[in-house]
Amino acid sequence: MRLRVRFQKLGKVRWTSHRDVARMWERACRRIQLPLAYTGGFSPRPKLSFGLALPTGAESLAEYLDLEVASDAVVDIDGLPARLSPALPAGVDVAAVAAVDPKAPSLQEDVVSCEWRLGVAPGGDLPVVVDLAALVDRALASSSLLVERERKGRLSVDDVRPAILALSAEATAGGEPELEALLATRPRALRPQELLRALGPDLEAPRVCRTHQWIERDGLREEPLAVAPHAVGARAQ
């Protein structure tokens, strides 16, 4: 049986790397004695499959994990969120768990875009006040936005404009400027820091949060595992 877990990652735990998050989940499953399926070979590993990696230092309200339970196991799926959350570090909370079709595409194959909220601040020699709306309007009006990116030790210059699906300048309740962005993940995911470089080379984002990941079904956009609004946002430290 294949289970999909939706969880959030808030607070200090945002500095935990993707690899450490994987270890964290393995320990949590052992603590609650969840009967996972294992790979074969000389070094069996629990069958856990994560979605798109979250940049270290970023928070998220919508992270996903697929795990495979042993074929002969009986699991109370509805009770898993309440069992898993206390077994995880503060700031990592399980919002929902559901069974999914074992033949469904992997999360990395299925997610087509991610929604982000970025708290923006000027860096370098930029003035204290930045006209964020003007930068957004200029970017959306551009036919191309070239950004230098590194992958596997190699630098390339890519046009990232097609990956900006939606972008707006907003403000927090305290009046601090922020961006809301919908960024494509194909053919190569556009990262929040790369978006900032496309807008202005001296922009910084002291706060980054992934708020949604989206898949497509029959031409409609939906979440890999939806939750009620009240289930999002808790226990951040």
Q: Residues 6-20: pLDDT tens digits?
A: 999 999 999 999 889
Task: Judge whether 195 and 142 are in contact, CB under 8 Å.
Answer: no
**CA distances, 136 to each of 14, 57, 166, 184, 234 (Å):** 27, 24, 10, 17, 31
| The pLDDT value given to residue 229 | 54
pLDDT of 85 higher than 80 = yes
Q: Residues 23-75: pLDDT tens digits?
A: 999 999 999 999 999 998 888 899 999 989 999 999 999 999 999 999 888 89
Q: Across residues 165-184, what is the average pLDDT?
A: 92
Average pLDDT, the chain: 89
Phi and psi (nearest 5°) for 143?
Answer: -80, -25
DSSP-assigned letters across all residues of the chain: -EEEEEEEE-GGGGGS-HHHHHHHHHHHHHHTT--B-B--SSS--B-EEE-SPPPTT-EEEEEEEEEEB-TT----GGGHHHHHGGGS-TTEEEEEEEEE-TTSPPHHHH--EEEEEEEEEE-TT--SS--HHHHHHHHHH-S--EEEEEETTEEEEEE-GGGEEEEEEEE-TT--EEEEEEEE-TTTPPPHHHHHHHH-TTEEEEEEEEEEEEEEETTEEE-SS---GGGS-----
Q: Residues 111-134: pLDDT tens digits?
A: 999 999 999 887 655 444 468 899
| The pLDDT value given to residue 208 | 96
Closest by CA position to 189, among listed 108, 134, 122, 86:
108
Q: Residues 137-148: pLDDT tens digits?
A: 999 999 999 999
pLDDT of 190 higher than 50 = yes
| The pLDDT value given to residue 15 | 95
